[in-house]
């Protein structure tokens, strides 16, 4: 088994890296050499129909559904994180900040709306499995991924220098100057230095760390890049239109 390079920090304290300290999803390549596979374990062999791209598109509908659900959950997480940053730094009265956070909430709400639309328009497949509407899923995934980098940048921008000046939790209680610990110089009007530092560490893990970039790259590759995705979605939707009208 060959695993890719880790991008999280398993030795980090949870206070310093709330997300990265919990691990990650490791991709790996597993190789087999001179392995006997019993015929009872073989699902399909030499069947060009089942091994074709079109059949995979049928099977992948639920995989794409799962991908979109995961992306929507992350969109709602980032919306909550943006609001947490605003509350922590006391930026709620600044009109520009309010507008930018509203854009993040609008993005998350639109993703959730497309999830509900795909469920509302679900139909039974030929095998009797209730299947969400593929057009809504495709539109939702493309929309979510198209704006994801911009949303991540917006959250980083709202944090300002707070995202740069992060410290180990143990350093906050170290003597600094004038008989005060370092935390005394970093306190804000609304929260203490330790809580502020924790929020900045959380933001770092979510949208700025190597782990966060890996998540973004994975979602872009897993769901196709947006220009290719829109083209494929339009083609597949057009191809399905006659059969859908016939069923109706």
Q: What is the CATH number of the domain that holds 238?
A: 1.20.140.10
How far apart CA 222 and CA 151 sit, in angstroms, is 19
pLDDT at position 244 is: 38
How far apart CA 131 and CA 108 sit, in angstroms, is 23
pTM of the model: 0.79
In a domain, 20, yes or no: no
In a domain, 23, yes or no: no
- For residue 134, the SS3 value is helix
User: Which residues of the chain carry a pLDDT beneath 50?
Assistant: 232-248
In a domain, 57, yes or no: no
Judge contact between 168 and 16, C-beta under 8 A: yes
pLDDT at position 228 is: 55
Quote the number of domains for the chain. 1
Per-residue pLDDT tens digits for 174-191: 777 776 777 767 777 777
In a domain, 239, yes or no: yes
How far apart CA 24 and CA 8 sit, in angstroms, is 7
pLDDT at position 240 is: 45
In a domain, 55, yes or no: no
In a domain, 243, yes or no: yes
Domain that holds residue 76: 62-247
Long-range pairs, 63-66, Cβ under 8 A, ≥24: 64/134, 64/137, 64/138, 64/141, 64/223, 65/118, 65/132, 65/137
Give me 240's structure tokens: 């399905």
Give me 173's structure tokens: 């209680």
In a domain, 34, yes or no: no
pLDDT at position 226 is: 54
- For residue 152, the SS3 value is helix
pLDDT at position 147 is: 93
Judge contact between 143 and 110, C-beta under 8 A: yes
pLDDT at position 218 is: 84
In a domain, 77, yes or no: yes
Rounded to the nearest 10 degrees, the angle between the axes of helix 61-89 and helix 193-207 is: 150
pLDDT at position 37 is: 86
């Amino acid at each position: 088994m060959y695993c890719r390079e880790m991008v999280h920090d398993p030795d980090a304290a949870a206070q310093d890296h709330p997300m990265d300290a919990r691990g990650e999803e490791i991709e790996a390549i597993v190789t087999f050499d001179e392995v006997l596979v019993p015929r009872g374990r073989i699902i399909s062999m030499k069947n060009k129909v089942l091994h074709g791209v079109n059949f995979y598109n049928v099977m992948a509908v639920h995989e794409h559904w799962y991908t979109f659900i995961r992306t929507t959950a992350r969109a709602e997480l980032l919306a909550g994180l943006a609001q947490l940053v605003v509350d922590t730094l006391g930026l709620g009265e600044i009109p520009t900040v309010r507008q930018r956070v509203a854009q993040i909430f609008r993005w998350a709400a639109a993703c959730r709306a497309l999830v509900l639309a795909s469920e509302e328009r679900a139909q039974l497949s030929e095998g009797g499995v209730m299947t969400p509407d593929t057009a809504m899923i495709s539109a939702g995934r493309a929309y979510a991924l198209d704006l994801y980098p911009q949303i991540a940048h917006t959250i980083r921008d709202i944090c300002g220098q707070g995202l740069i000046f992060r410290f180990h939790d143990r350093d906050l209680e170290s003597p600094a100057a004038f008989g005060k610990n370092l935390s005394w110089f970093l306190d804000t009007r609304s929260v203490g230095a330790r809580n502020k530092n924790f929020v900045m560490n959380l933001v770092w893990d979510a949208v700025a760390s190597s782990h966060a970039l890996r998540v973004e790259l994975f979602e872009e590759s897993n769901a196709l890049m947006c220009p290719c995705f829109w083209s494929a979605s339009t083609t597949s939707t057009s191809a399905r239109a006659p059969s859908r009208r016939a069923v109706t």
